[in-house]
C-alpha cells in the first residue's frame, strides 16, 4: 500500500502545482498556451538530448523550459506581424515545433530512448519505482521531490510577485504605466508555466497537463470572485481531482492520469451546473424568481395607475389583465395570488383588486426609478 500512497502524493503535488500556475493562465486568457507549451517542450527535450546524450540530464528540463518560453516568444512574434491573429498563431507555432520533434525522434529512434507515447501520456503509476536516493538512503520517489520543488517554486513565485501578477492580469495598461514591466513579468511567468509543464508531463503526459492546468482554476473561477480564494480553491479542487482520479483508476483498473483529467472535468461540470451563484441552475432559478417579481410589480403599477379613477371598476380586475398586460389567465391568476400572499393587494368583495399601503409604496418606488 505504500506504493499507492506514494502515487497519490505525487498526483496531489503535480495537480496542485499545475493548478496554481493555471489560475493566471485562465485569468489572462492564455489557457491554450498551456497546450502549446506542453507539446513543444518535447522539442526542447529532444534537442538537448542530442547534445548531452544523457536522458537523465537535468539540462533536459532546462532545455524543455527554454523551448516553452521560445514558443511563447514565437507566438508573440507571429502575432505582432498582424498578418495572423493570436489563435491562429498559437495553432501554427506549436504543431510545427511538435512535428519537428516527432520527425527527429522517429528518424533517430534507434539512438534515442525517448518514447513519444510516454511523453504524451506519461505514466504516474511508475513514479514510485524511480527513487531519489542520497548517500544510499532512500528518500522516496524522485517525481515527488521534483514536483514538490516545482510546487514550492510556484508558491514562492506567486507569493513574491502577487501584487505584480494581480495588477498585470487585471489591468495590464495600469501595470505598464506604473512601471511594473508587464513584459518581463509575462516571460518570467511563462518560464514558470514551462517548468511546471515539463515536470508534470513526465508523470501525467502533455495533453493531461492541460486538464490539470485549466480545469481546476476554471472551476474555482466559477465559484469565487476573489483572487486569493480562487487560488486556494483551485489547489483544493486539484487535490480532490487527483485523489478521486486515483481511486477511480484503482477501481476500474484504467489510466490514472486519464481518470485525474476526467475527475477534474467532472468537478468542473458540477460547479458549472450547481455553483451557488453562477451555476446554470442557480442562474435559471434566479431568472425565474425575477420574472415573477417583475410581474407582481407590473401588477401593482397597473393598479396604482387606475386607482381612484372612473375606469378602476373595470380595469382593476383579474379578468382584465389579459387584455391590458397581455397575460394569459393562468399566469394572471398566479401573479395575483402571489401578490396577495406578499400583501401587495387585497381582493375586494366585488372582485376588484385594491393596493395595500405596501403595494402602493412598492409601485411608487418602482415608478420613481
Partner 1 sequence: MDILRDLLFDYTLRTVALGAATLGVVAGALGTFAVLRRQSLLGDAISHAALPGIVLAFILTGAKSTFVLVLGAAIAGWLGTLVVMTVVRHSRLPEDSALGIVLSVFFGAGLVLLTYVQKLPDASQAGLDRFLFGQAATMLERDIGVIAGLGAIALLAVVVFWKEFKLLSFDPEFGASLGLPMRTIDILLTTFLVIAIVIGLQTVGVVLMSALVIAPAAAARQWTNSLAVMVLLSALFGAVAGVTGAVISSSAQHVPTGPTIVLAATTLVLVSLALAPERGLLWAAVQRRRQRQQIRADAVLADLYALAEHHEGEHAHEVSVLEAMRAGRTDVRRALGVLEERGLARRSGADAWTITGTGRDEVERGGE
User: Of 87 and 343, which CB lies nearer to partner 1 in the complex structure?
Assistant: 87
Distance CA 63, CA 318 (A): 77
145-184 mask for partner 1 (x: CB under 8 A)?
----------------------------------------
Residue of the chain from 4, 51, 55, 103 that contacts partner 1 (CB under 8 A): 103
The span from the CA of 97 to the CA of 67, in Å, is 9
**Position 98 contacts partner 1 (CB under 8 A):** yes
The answer for residues whose C-beta is within 8 angstroms of residue 339's C-beta and 6 or more apart is 296, 299, 300, 345, 359
**188 forms part of the interface with partner 1 (CB under 8 A):** no
The three grid cell numbers given for residue 286, joined into one nine-digit string: 434566479
DSSP 8-state class, residue 258: H
Task: Spell out the residues 6+ positions from residue 42 whose beta carbon is closer than 8 angstroms to its own.
Answer: 64, 98, 101, 102, 116, 119, 206
In DSSP terms, 353 is beta-bridged to 347
- Options 7, 48, 195, 214; binder of partner 1; rule CB under 8 A: 214
CB closer to partner 1 out of 35 and 202:
35
Cell 489591468, residue located: 171
Of the residues 134, 137, 253, 323, which one makes contact with partner 1 according to CB under 8 A: 253
**Is 168 or 255 the residue whose CB approaches partner 1 more closely?**
255
44 sits near partner 1 (criterion: CB under 8 A): no
**CA distances for 181 relative to 29, 31, 46, 48, 170, angstroms:** 19, 22, 33, 31, 14
Between 71 and 255, CB nearer to partner 1: 255
Question: Rule CB under 8 A: is residue 249 a binding residue for partner 1?
Answer: yes
Please give the Cα distance from 61 to 142 (Å, whole number): 14
Minimum CB–partner distance for residue 354 and partner 1 (Å): 42
Selected binder of partner 1 within 51, 55, 254, 274 (CB under 8 A): 254
- Residues with Cβ within 8 Å of 132's Cβ and at least 6 positions away in sequence, in order, are 138, 139, 140, 141, 142, 144, 145
Residues at the contact surface with partner 1, assessed by CB under 8 A: 26, 29-32, 34-35, 39, 81, 83-85, 87-88, 90-92, 95-96, 98-100, 102-103, 106-107, 109, 116-117, 120-121, 207-211, 213-215, 218, 221-222, 249, 252-255, 257-262, 264-265, 268, 272, 278, 280, 283
Amino acid at each position: 500500500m505504500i506504493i499507492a500512497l506514494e502515487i497519490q502524493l505525487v498526483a496531489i503535488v503535480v495537480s496542485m502545482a499545475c493548478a496554481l500556475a493555471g489560475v493566471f493562465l485562465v485569468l489572462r486568457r492564455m489557457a491554450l498556451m498551456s497546450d502549446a507549451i506542453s507539446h513543444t517542450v518535447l522539442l526542447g527535450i529532444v534537442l538537448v538530448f542530442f547534445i548531452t546524450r544523457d536522458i537523465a540530464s537535468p539540462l533536459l528540463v532546462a532545455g524543455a523550459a527554454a523551448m516553452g518560453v521560445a514558443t511563447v516568444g514565437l507566438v508573440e512574434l507571429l502575432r505582432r506581424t498582424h498578418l495572423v491573429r493570436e489563435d491562429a498563431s498559437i495553432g501554427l507555432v506549436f504543431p510545427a515545433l511538435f512535428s519537428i520533434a516527432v520527425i527527429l525522434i522517429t528518424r533517430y529512434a534507434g539512438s534515442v530512448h525517448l518514447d513519444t507515447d510516454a511523453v504524451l501520456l506519461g505514466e504516474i503509476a511508475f513514479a514510485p519505482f524511480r527513487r531519489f536516493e542520497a548517500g544510499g538512503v532512500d528518500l522516496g520517489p524522485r517525481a515527488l521531490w521534483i514536483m514538490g520543488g516545482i510546487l514550492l517554486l510556484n508558491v514562492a513565485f506567486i507569493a513574491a510577485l502577487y501584487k505584480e501578477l494581480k495588477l498585470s492580469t487585471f489591468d495590464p495598461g495600469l501595470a505598464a504605466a506604473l512601471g511594473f514591466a508587464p513584459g518581463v513579468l509575462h516571460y518570467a511567468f511563462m518560464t514558470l508555466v514551462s517548468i511546471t509543464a515539463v515536470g508534470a508531463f513526465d508523470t501525467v503526459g502533455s495533453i493531461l497537463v492541460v486538464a490539470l492546468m485549466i480545469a481546476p482554476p476554471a472551476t474555482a473561477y466559477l465559484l469565487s470572485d476573489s483572487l486569493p480564494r480562487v487560488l486556494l480553491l483551485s489547489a483544493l479542487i486539484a487535490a480532490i481531482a487527483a485523489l478521486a482520479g486515483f481511486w477511480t483508476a484503482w477501481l476500474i483498473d484504467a489510466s490514472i492520469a486519464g481518470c485525474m483529467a476526467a475527475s477534474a472535468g467532472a468537478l468542473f461540470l458540477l460547479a458549472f451546473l450547481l455553483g451557488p451563484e453562477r451555476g446554470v441552475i442557480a442562474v435559471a432559478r434566479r431568472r425565474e424568481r425575477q420574472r415573477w417579481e417583475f410581474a407582481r410589480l407590473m401588477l401593482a403599477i397597473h393598479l396604482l395607475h387606475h386607482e381612484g379613477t372612473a375606469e378602476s371598476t373595470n380595469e382593476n380586475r383579474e379578468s382584465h389583465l389579459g387584455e391590458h398586460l397581455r397575460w394569459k389567465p393562468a399566469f394572471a391568476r398566479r401573479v395575483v395570488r402571489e401578490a396577495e400572499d406578499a400583501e401587495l393587494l387585497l381582493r375586494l368583495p366585488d372582485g376588484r383588486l385594491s393596493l395595500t399601503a405596501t403595494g402602493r409604496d412598492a409601485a411608487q418606488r418602482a415608478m420613481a426609478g
